[in-house]
Amino acid sequence: MSDAALPPLTIVEVQRRVGEELTRIGPVIDELGARFAAAGEELALVGGPVRDAMLGRLQNDLDFTTSARPETTEKLLAGWVDAIWDMGRAFGTIGARIGEWQVEITTYRAETYDPSSRKPDVEYGADLTGDLGRRDFTVNAMAVSVPGRGFEDPYGGLVDLANRTLRTPGRPEDSFSDDPLRMMRAARFAAQLGFEVAPEVVAAMTAMAGRIEIISAERVRDELVKLVCAPFPRLGLSLLVDTGLAAYVLPELPALALERDEHHRHKDVYEHTLTVLEQSIDLESRLGGGPDFVSRFAALMHDVGKPRTRRFESGGVVTFHHHDVVGAKMTRKRMQALRFSNAETDAVARLVELHLRFHGYGSGEWTDSAVRRYVRDAGDQLARLHILTRADCTTRNQRKADRLRRTYDSLEERIARLAEQEELDAIRPDLDGAQIMEILGIGPGPRVGAAYKHLLELRMDHGPMSADEAREALITWADSHPDTRPGQ
């Protein structure tokens, strides 16, 4: 996947796309606008929906801004929409569902942040121009008033969008002081839209990077997920590193720029990591869905243990022994700090810890037992481990790359063959706990677990056994491991 800049848009093309989108959503926006106009209120489609209409990105989530206060908005929607929710009432927002459409209608706002606060102080604004001026970027500060469909662009968002440039409506320092998360949103929009960030915006992000510390971990996490799952994540990640923001939100990433990898294939491990991320994205169609955060974040974090494990050996050799294990612990700690779920944290950390395991396969010397253990240790992350391991090959030596690919093809074929023969994805001992207790004549306790573990190792080493073979193996183990502790 390339993060090369996309070509500029023409104004004619933008206007054509907007016209088509307004026709598509017309039945909703026109009637909604008429309801507000009849009540003497203003209503305008605003922000992302207007921007995405110009980019040809269809959506059914529509954002509006209005002169009406939330209680008035709620009354105007009542009896017409299918459902209403008011979780955002404190911020002036009322949500509703109208058939297949999701709408959010927010009262004109003037929003500022206290320098020491994580939450905005919300004040209602007086007009549309003022509301647009408090938005993050000019491409999100355009509106279409309804029902008349008049285009409002007081800050030059149309030109910036045509040039694929991110710029703030006012001074970027003021915008980022009001909401420091907007600095991360700049990186996220660069990754999502392939836009270039204006130099003055980059300068403000660099000067104010430390302000991101007042933002809650959950909000930072959500922006990071959107960035990593975007079409051009390298653009956003590079911006975070270059401006110093990454040092606060994901410090393991810029730390990689200080390390050269052991094969000198890239100028540093940081560049290698971004390449692995891109190659992982190219392979994620194997998972059968859209952008996969776990797979992408594992690619991003797979080498974060290298700075802590770097050692200089004789002859100028640099090693990173056990960086997989160290990296997994670092990954877990960072994801916990960012309030990721336990499931996501466990999945990514496991992939980081296992990403080097394949290299013990050599030219296919692993026994079937070793292949079974590889599958068991990967668990439900096996498909993602296949992707990460393949993506981690970034050598420019085509012969070596081809050899590694063929070797991994061989491993996957062996896994598939064993899986067909042995139900490999659900490896268990040939006897369960109840059967073990019955055969040995014991009750629940540690001895059952020890026997279970022994049978599982036999299963891994030798494959499936018959019931009689498993029974004999269990009795043999019990005879050589007499129960010496009472009550077991």
Asked whether residue 82 falls in the same domain as residue 196, the answer is no
What's the pLDDT tens digit per position in 452-488? Answer: 888 878 777 777 778 888 888 888 888 888 764 444 4
Q: Is residue 488 part of a domain?
A: no
Q: In DSSP terms, which residues pair with 85 in a beta bridge?
A: 95
Q: What is the pTM of this model?
A: 0.81
Asked whether residue 179 falls in the same domain as residue 228, the answer is yes
**For the residues 300-310, what does the mean pLDDT come to?**
94
Q: Is residue 5 part of a domain?
A: no
What is the C-alpha separation between 412 and 155, in angstroms, rounded? 55
**For residues 382 and 375, is the Cβ–Cβ distance under 8 A?**
yes
Asked whether residue 347 falls in the same domain as residue 199, the answer is no
User: Is the model more confident about 454 or about 274?
Assistant: 274
**What is the model's pLDDT at position 458?**
79
Asked whether residue 59 falls in the same domain as residue 77, the answer is yes
Asked whether residue 113 falls in the same domain as residue 159, the answer is yes
Q: Is residue 144 part of a domain?
A: yes
Asked whether residue 202 falls in the same domain as residue 334, the answer is no
And the tokens for 206?
């660099």
Asked whether residue 388 falls in the same domain as residue 439, the answer is no
What's the pLDDT tens digit per position in 117-131? Answer: 555 566 888 899 999
Domain span holding position 390: 259-426
Q: In DSSP terms, which residues pair with 93 in a beta bridge?
A: 106
What's the pLDDT tens digit per position in 380-392? Answer: 999 999 999 999 9
Three-state SS for 79?
coil
Neighbours of 469 (CB within 10 A): 13
Asked whether residue 264 falls in the same domain as residue 321, the answer is yes
Asked whether residue 112 falls in the same domain as residue 228, the answer is no
Of 426, 450, 471, which closes a domain? 426
Of 120, 141, 165, which closes a domain? 165
Q: What CATH number does residue 232 fall under? A: 1.10.110.30
95-101 long-range contacts, CB within 8 A, separation 24+: 98/28, 98/32, 99/28, 100/60, 101/25, 101/28, 101/60, 101/61, 101/62
Percentage, residues of the chain above pLDDT 90: 59
**For the residues 61-81, what does the mean pLDDT come to?**
95
Residue 447, CA distances (Å) to 453, 470, 473 in order: 10, 17, 15
What's the pLDDT tens digit per position in 204-258? Answer: 999 999 999 999 999 999 999 999 999 999 999 999 999 999 999 999 999 998 6
Looking at the structure of the chain, the number of domains it has is: 4
Q: Is residue 375 part of a domain?
A: yes
**What is the model's pLDDT at position 316?**
76
